[in-house]
Amino acid sequence: MTPPWGKITAKTWQGLVGGAITESGVRNMKEYGYARVSTKEQNEHRQLIALAEFGICSEHIFMDKQSGKDFNRANYQELTRTVLQKGDALVVKSIDRLGRDYREILDEWKYLTRDVEADIVVLDMPLLDTRRTNDLTGKLIADIVLQILSYVAQSERENTLQRQAEGIRAAKARGVAFGRPRREVPPAFFPVYQQWKAKELDRAEAERRLGISKMKFYRLVWQVERAEGS
């Protein structure tokens, strides 16, 4: 099933481009657009506007809200493994919308252009338009540009992950806690805990006095003893 953000509705499309997209003047070869953002909070409108200005109708747009670390994305897989046919063109705004893994981008490019025999158009980089690079020199230039941009896309992702990791380490060094906030041990627990440790009370009696379950009792014991370094 295609997620709600998988294909772009005509109403949304008209709002983005300021009018209806008609079917007149459609090329014989079918052109499909692909857009991707990493999270649901990110805005995909710039990509959709660029695809609209290129002339792609809303029904031919596929979009994922998912990381570009690999190509395991539902709508991308539907587009490239089911919909896209020989002679069609896949249009993206920039190479990093395809993905951010250097090797996987190169492998996917090879699969689409050689196995499927489809064209790829990268709007932000006119040299990466396989419709115009049929001669040997054009293919050589395109291959060089593709490798450079794929490397940059992966480097940006690695730098982002590194900055995140450094930020987390710095925050932890400042005493910032991550994860679920730890619940404080209720004051009433301590005297009962001391009696239980001294074997003056058994576990069942300690739980009865505190009005807690066995699981919660042992969780509080673990929390106290961890804090004490026992």
Distance from C-alpha of 65 to C-alpha of 6, rounded to nearest angstrom: 9
With tokens 């990381």, the residue in question is: 67
**Active-site annotation holds for 150:** no
* Marked catalytic residue, from 24, 38, 213, 230: 38
Please list the active-site residues: 38
